[in-house]
């Protein structure tokens, strides 16, 4: 996202009554810093590492992440662990295949879901938010023989 895109976005959010608070800036900055997905706790740790004197309550981090998801800036994804992971939307577009047996994650081309998105819009008028999602199942190796490892 360019800087002017960002300014424009903030402006349009303000028009709708949203505020850009220091806490929200810190969460956004943490997400930009980490180049992978991050858990709420990793975001918290990143903020502490960069600004040891500032503290952002976990509740605020969770609420900020929900807000960022709702305004379509951030994806919220389960990778089969017992916590969600968050990532800025816009670049490194992909989805995940998550093996329920070995917990392995395969990243896949997002175009595979485009026909589904189009059909949901056409048939049900539904605008699916299919960005950076997970599909659960069994990877090739785990399909043959239940012998588990990893």
Partner DNA sequence: TAGCTATCTGCAAACAGTTGCATCTGTATT
Partner DNA sequence: AATACAGATGCAACTGTTTGCAGATAGCTA
Name which position in 53, 59, 127, 150 contacts its own copies (CB under 8 A). Answer: 127
Residue with tokens 């309550």: 57
Q: Which is nearer to Zn ion, 48 or 97 (CB)?
A: 97
Name which position in 2, 125, 145, 149 contacts its own copies (CB under 8 A). Answer: 125
Name which position in 45, 60, 101, 134 contacts DNA (CB under 7 A). Answer: 60
Pair type for strands 95-99 and 74-78: unpaired
Q: What is the C-alpha to C-alpha distance for residues 29 and 18, in angstroms, rounded to an integer?
A: 18
Q: What is the C-alpha to C-alpha distance for residues 130 and 108, in angstroms, rounded to an integer?
A: 13
Footprint on this chain of DNA (rule: CB under 7 A): 14-15, 17-24, 39-41, 55-60, 62-64, 66-67, 82-84
């Amino acid at each position: 996202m360019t800087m002017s895109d960002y300014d424009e976005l903030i402006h349009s959010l303000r028009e709708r009554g949203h505020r850009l608070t220091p806490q929200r800036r810190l969460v956004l900055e943490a997400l930009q810093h980490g180049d992978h997905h991050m858990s709420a706790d990793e975001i918290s740790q990143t903020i502490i590492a960069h600004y040891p004197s500032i503290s952002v309550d976990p509740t605020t981090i969770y609420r900020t992440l929900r807000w960022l998801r709702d305004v379509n800036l951030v994806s919220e994804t389960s990778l089969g662990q017992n916590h969600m992971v968050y990532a800025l939307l816009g670049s490194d577009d992909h989805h995940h295949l998550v093996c329920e047996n070995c917990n392995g994650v395969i990243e896949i081309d997002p175009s595979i879901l485009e026909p589904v998105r189009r059909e949901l819009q056409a048939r049900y008028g539904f605008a699916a938010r299919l960005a950076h999602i997970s599909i659960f199942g069994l990877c090739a190796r785990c399909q043959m023989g239940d012998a588990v490892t990893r």
